[in-house]
Homo-oligomer: A and B are copies of this chain.
């Protein structure tokens, strides 16, 4: 009897926990564990959202970021974009409810996915300032809407404190978010400035103006075209798990299994759909929701067995080699730039692509560890470098082969910036704070291949540079002897000394050029043999 009473007492306390409560208490999971990081996270969530919105609407992004100190550890953060805006009815939900968004249920590359980021920032703001956030939005029509918004934490619902509508004579469109937070402003290392700089490198088609406590910094637009817009795709049969298939069968609008397979998956035509049905011993005419557990299990197995081509990759939006180089050149003073965009690859049925950029030499310090810039879907990853698949891949590549020093199990040493961009319809982040990519072997392998491609190009440049340095030395030596030699030849041949000098210099120049070309080709050949 006593036990029953205990059980009842314990069971009585069982109740629902709201997502907002969960992340309020666990806010370090979202990147709010200290005031420096929290401030960066707020800016990052807002800017990432703005870039996504502009790109989806086909608008070249103009983004204004402002950080203003209002008290000890108190700051007002403002971010404004020229995106499409959000319609009035949805505005409170898009900002005032966690796990609410448009990007979670689709397979397509975008910066945000989870529907947590911006509302997480507002949650942090109200926790530390006790004040609502102000959001202004217009879709470019008659009105501009402004709301003062808090989150009802125990219910995870938006709570609009006040709202107003104003005329919009200039047809402004976009979103402006303003909130007060507890923060700490720094300009070195993992800072807002560094985040914006890296964002500018990866998104050189955006114009970003930053008004910080120490003045104004403008990251100008150097590319005039938006990258190709990514398309939404359907799931590929190879990446679908049993439980998901079960749910898809229950929720599909298709009338029979044949059309379900054809319409709800990518890369399944009539032939392969019929093959799957045959393998699973299920009539193609069966109603999708009529399958029992054993039939679903057989169908699932058959779907993994039938040979299919890889999923389409237009769901990805890579930056491209040219843009990577433009982005790097814009922000990094180096002498040589290399970019590699690998063809898309697939893990667990999900397409992804890796891009690598290198900036070498120039003003970069030759005696320290290389700088590693990590990006996922065009967003800089600023924290948890040690825990990230990109870092692991960079460490696993043998950079000594490409002319750099490298202590064992470390990043290489040299005057080099390595940029790695991981683009995918689904990025497996190690936490909701989205600062590191989980170490799936397929992902690490593909990043390494891209790094090796770039490394071979780097080697070519480094050995050519070394060679041309040697040649220059030799040339300098020859040149010193030319006048003497010319004088001697002139005496014997009666040709004027000046003519002979001219002739010798021509020969010297031509000879060096030939050597240079030969060297280049040779090293090129060698590298291809070493490669992959």
Complex CA–CA separation, A440 to B59 (angstroms)? 42
Instruction: Name the contact of A102 in the complex, choosing from B1, B10, B141, B251 (C-beta under 8 A).
Output: B10
Contact B128 A17 (CB under 8 A): no
Cα distance A59–B19 in the bound complex, in angstroms: 33
Cβ contact within 8 Å between A128 and B21 = no
Which residues on the B side are within 8 Å of A56 (C-beta)? 6, 10
Asked whether, in the complex, the Cβ of A247 is within 8 Å of the Cβ of B4, the reply is no
Interface centre among A3, A29, A244, A246 (most CB of B within 10 A): A3
Considering the complex, give the chain B residue whose CB is closest to the CB of A152: B247
Say whether A333 faces chain B, with CB atoms less than 8 Å apart.
no
Of B99, B130, B139, which one neighbours A16 at CB under 8 angstroms?
A: B99
CB contact between A3 and one of B102, B130, B153, B173 (< 8 Å): that residue:
B173
Query: A139 contacts which chain B residues (CB < 8 A)?
Result: 3-4, 7-8
Q: Tell me the smallest distance from the CB of A132 to a CB of chain B, in Å.
A: 9
> A81-89, A183-191, A507-515: which one contacts chain B?
A81-89
CA of A407 to CA of B115, assembled, Å: 45
Q: Are A102 and B13 in contact (CB under 8 A)?
A: yes
Asked whether A506 is an interface residue with its Cβ less than 8 Å from the other chain, the reply is: no
- Which of A257-265, A372-380, A426-434 binds B? A426-434
Chain A count of residues within 8 A CB distance of the other chain = 79
Contacts of A16 in B (CB 8 A): 97, 99-100
Q: Which of B99, B153, B296, B387 contacts A17 (CB 8 A)?
A: B99
A241/B8 in contact, CB under 8 A: no
Residues of chain B within 8 A of A227, CB atoms compared: none
* A19 touching B297, Cβ below 8 Å: no
A57-B6, A428-B28 given; A130·B243 CB < 8 A: yes
Q: Is A364 an interface residue (CB 8 A)?
A: no
Interface pair A33/B102, CB less than 8 Å apart: no
- Given A10-B56, A29-B431, A104-B21, are A243 and B4 also a contact pair (CB < 8 Å)? no
B-contact 0/1 string along A11-51, CB 8 Å cutoff: 10111111101101110110001000000000000000000
A93 on interface, CB distance cutoff 8 Å: yes
Distance, CA A26 to CA B19, complexed state (A) = 15
Check A386 for interface membership: any CB of B closer than 8 A. yes
- Chain A 35-78: CB-based contact to B (< 8 A → 1; otherwise 0): 00000000000000000010011110000000000000000000
Which of B173, B247, B386 lies in contact with A7, CB distance below 8 A? B173
| A480 interface hit (Cβ, 8 Å) | no
Which residue from chain B places its CB closest to the CB of A84 in the assembled complex?
B7
Q: Which of A7, A18, A24, A94 has the most CB of B within 10 A?
A: A7
Q: Given A241-B128, A431-B431 in contact, is the A57-B3 Cβ separation under 8 Å?
A: yes
Given contacts A7-B57, A431-B431, contact A130 B28 (CB under 8 A): no
Smallest distance from the beta carbon of A49 to chain B beta carbons, Å?
12
Q: Assess whether A529 is interfacial by the CB under 8 Å rule.
A: no
- Complex Cα spacing A19 to B140, Å: 34
Which residues of the partner chain B approach A241 to less than 8 Å between Cβ atoms? Answer: 127-128
5 A–B contacts from the bound complex (CB under 8 Å): A6-B84, A7-B84, A26-B432, A29-B430, A130-B246
Told that A13-B106, A14-B102, A21-B104 touch, could you supply 12 new A-B pairs with CB distance under 8 A? A6-B56, A6-B57, A7-B84, A14-B90, A14-B93, A15-B100, A15-B102, A17-B101, A17-B104, A28-B438, A154-B251, A430-B431
